[in-house]
Amino acid sequence: MDDLLSSLNPAQQEAVQHYEGPALVVAGAGSGKTRTVVHRIAYLLRERRVYPGEVLAVTFTNKAAGEMKERLARMVGGSASDLWVSTFHSAALRILRVYGEYVGLKSGFVVYDDDDQTTLLKEILKELGLEAKPGPFRAMLDRIKNQGRGLSEFLREAPEFIGGVPKELAGEVYRKYQAGMRAQGAVDFNDLLLLSIQLFEEQPGVLAKIRQRARFIHVDEYQDTNPVQYRLTRLLAGLAEGGTGPNLMVVGDPDQSIYGFRNADIHNILDFTKDYPGAKVFRLEENYRSTESILQVANAVIEKNALRLEKTLRSVKAGGEPVRLYRAPNAREEAAFVAREIVKLGQYGQIAVLYRTNAQSRLLEEHLRRGGVPVRLVGAVGFFERREVKDLLAYGRVAVNPLDGINLRRILNTPARGIGASTVGKLVEQAQRTGQSLFEVLRQAEGLLSRPQPVQAFVELLEELLEAAFETGPAEFFERVLDATGFREALKQETDGEERLQNIEELLRAARDWEEEEGGSLSDFLDSVALTAKAEEPQKGEAPPEASVTLMTLHNAKGLEFPTVFLVGLEENLLPHRNSLSRLEDLEEERRLFYVGITRAQEKLYLSYAEERETYGKREYSRPSRFLEEVPPELLKEIGAFGDTAVPVMAYTRPEPKPKPSLGEFRGGERVRHPRFGQGTVVAALGGEVTVMFPGLGLKKLALKFAGLEKID
């Protein structure tokens, strides 16, 4: 017993020695929660003589499950092989492989992955004659299934259009998807949990057998469970013999609940003691990761949240370097500062740069590579390899070289314009048979296709862009593409449309920066991009990850730790994100995200923000994040651009915002003529944009600078 407990602190020892009945372990960041769970399982086996086949431990990733198995194998030897350690989905699949026939599954059923789902959805959309992307419908499937709601309930609250089609038609896509999977003897990952719940509710005898196999249940990261995982856990736990309450131990930290967008419900952990009356609560508050100075900042921030369980992290590392704060004049200078500091620090493999959105990575990548710093981008592709960025660049490449068939095929129906896969196949086949370029074949569409109008309209657009490519700079060219194609509106229909729009705006910003620094034509800019994108690819002999600076979003950083962390972009509308400002629950999740970022740092923490940042093509003054203002000034050391001590925190006068551009005579209601869309009516005017209703075409948002609108008396 002594060797089992000697490496644990008193709070961990209490949790480990808990035997029967429900228990909640509130485990703060870096408090050794995995060690506590592993030792508790070992305690049950060694001291309480619990049979290994009666223990279930559920984690959220296969990697975490594997690590837990390895630790247990070292502690309890061969008996670890009889333990049931898995993810929620793996546990459900194991159950359905044995009892799936009770819920209509045939033996040998297959589990569809993301690609399989997308393929099936494409077939259904084609069958229904819908020119729509599968992405929004996959997101709809996930929302319905992760929330455990029926289709009719979802449709009552859904927006009128999903993926560009009426929600009633989207419901038909859902029904055909479910029928198609059953016809092919398949389920998707979400179905694994839903069918297991159905099995337990309809077959109490089966549930009783599973409960015998899972008498002692452990659930890790309980704050991240969604409604379906919550229901499954409740069914599995049941009541222990003698009515003592279920032998369920959940481990988690509501202060690190940051996956609301995945339907995680923080109330699952907040209400645990209501769901399981008499549950014991253990608090792990000793932090082994971060220094005292870092934890003081973390505690000052998170205590402002209302949705939490009371705890205060205490560091076992007394003192520590002060948390540094840098106030950059603009986003480019912020990235330059980060690169300079990292070069001075060295030991690149011990450093991480964290940010709120993937679009922020471009400037950081650029400045780090200029400084010769190897970079490892986690959880995202290189900036210029992102789908929406490549789509827009493809327009530029075709405008410069219309013989580029690869990029021409990429943009032919992007965004969707009614040119389906069968039409593209006919055009490509004609080009291959005649030896003509695809562009030449497109010009002959009238003689090749029964419905040539969409292709003819696309050719007209291309011919306009061919001229624009040699008349404008890259930034103006891309603006014209966005206006003429409705590219922005199409992205807004996607579930991650906000982030994709930010990447588009970042590309426009990159083009404007390049024009200011280098100058030249669209072709020159595309050459520069090609060289930059090539540098993002792993090179032979490149430094391994352990010698590279890690770049990642705050969401991807959860569960990780680094000796030195740079947390950048701490501004209103970025962190907290603009989409989170209307609901208190969303704002508190953003504060938890900031807290997670702070507690990734072990020894050194740098915080930074920019006084000016481009947002949707406009340079705007930004104010520091409200979360920074919640930190007592004495806990931060403000530094200058080269690491020297700067003025006291927040002790400066903010410059007056620049006036927004005037729209002159457009106020709404004016009749106008567009060179491409014809006559219409202005319905809104804001910033540098007007929204015009064109009969037969609908609403078009146009940049006034490039729209060429003519007012009609």
From the list 34, 50, 132, 613, the residue with the least C-alpha distance to 334 is: 613
Question: Alpha carbon of 541 to those of 346, 461, 496, 531, 545: distances in Å?
Answer: 19, 45, 35, 18, 12
**Which among 54, 188, 220, 479 is annotated as catalytic?**
220
- The sign of the CA dihedral 632, 633, 635, 640 is positive
Angle between helices 331-345 and 361-370 (to 10 degrees): 50
Closest by CA position to 348, among listed 147, 619, 543: 543
Rounded-to-integer distance, Cα 110 and Cα 196, Å: 15
Per the annotation, the verdict on 553 as an active-site residue is no
* Cα 323-329-330 angle, rounded to 5 deg: 100
Q: How far apart are CA 538 and CA 692, in angstroms?
A: 46
Residue 34 designated active-site: yes
Catalytic residue among 12, 36, 233, 256: 256
Torsion sign over Cα 405, 410, 415, 421? positive
The Cα 448–Cα 459 span in angstroms is 14
Q: Supply the DSSP symbol for 574.
A: B
Residue 524, C-beta contacts closer than 8 angstroms, at least 6 positions apart: 518
Q: Which of 14, 17, 20, 34 is catalytic?
A: 34
> Could you tell me if 599 and 298 are in contact, meaning their C-beta atoms sit under 8 angstroms apart?
yes
Give the position of tokens 């989170």: 580
Between strands 280-284 and 23-27, the pairing is: parallel
DSSP label at 298? H
Contact 420, 546 (CB under 8 A): no
SS3 label, residue 244? coil
Closest CA to 128 of 160, 171, 161: 171
- φ, ψ for residue 544, nearest 5 deg: -65, 165
30 Cβ contact list (under 8 Å, min separation 6) = 287, 288, 289, 290, 313, 561, 599
Measured CA to CA, the distance from residue 325 to residue 630 in angstroms comes to 14
**HEC-encoded secondary structure of 577-633:** EHHHCCCHHHHHHHHHHHHHHHCCEEEEEEEEEECEEEECCEEEECCECHHHHCCCH
31 is in an annotated binding site: yes
Q: Would you say 33 is a known binding-site residue?
A: yes
C-alpha distances in Å from residue 132, one per residue of 31, 162, 165, 166: 48, 10, 8, 12
**Closest-CA residue to 529 (of 487, 479, 481, 474):** 474
Q: Is 435 annotated as ligand-binding?
A: no
Q: Residue 615 pairs with which residues in a beta bridge?
A: 618
Convert 548-558 to b/e letters by CB count within 10 Å (16 or more is b). bbbbbbbbebb
Residues near 89 by beta carbon (within 8 Å), at least 6 away in sequence? 189, 192, 193
Give the β-pairing of 165-166 and 23-27. unpaired
Q: What does the chain come to in residues? A: 713
Structural contact between residues 248 and 233, judged by C-beta atoms closer than 8 angstroms: yes
Torsion of CA 463, 464, 469, 475, to 10 degrees: -140
The catalytic position among 33, 311, 390, 500 is: 33
Residue type, 485: T
Give yes or no: 589 in active site: no
| 256 catalytic residue (yes or no) | yes
The values of phi and psi at residue 537, to 5°, are: -75, 145
Nearest CA among 276, 275, 255, 274 for reference residue 266: 255
Establish whether 599 is an annotated binding residue.
Answer: no
Q: Is 108 within any annotated ligand binding site?
A: no
Q: Return d(Cα 354, Cα 445) in angstroms, integer.
A: 50
Which entry of 191, 221, 571, 588 is annotated as an active-site residue?
221
**6 annotated as a binding-site residue:** no
DSSP element (H, E) containing 301: helix 292-302
Residue type, 414: T
Q: Which residue among the candidates 138, 145, 592, 600 is catalytic per the annotation?
A: 600
The annotated binding site for ATP is made up of 27-34
Point out the residues that are catalytic: 33-34, 220-221, 256, 600
Annotation: binding site: 27-34
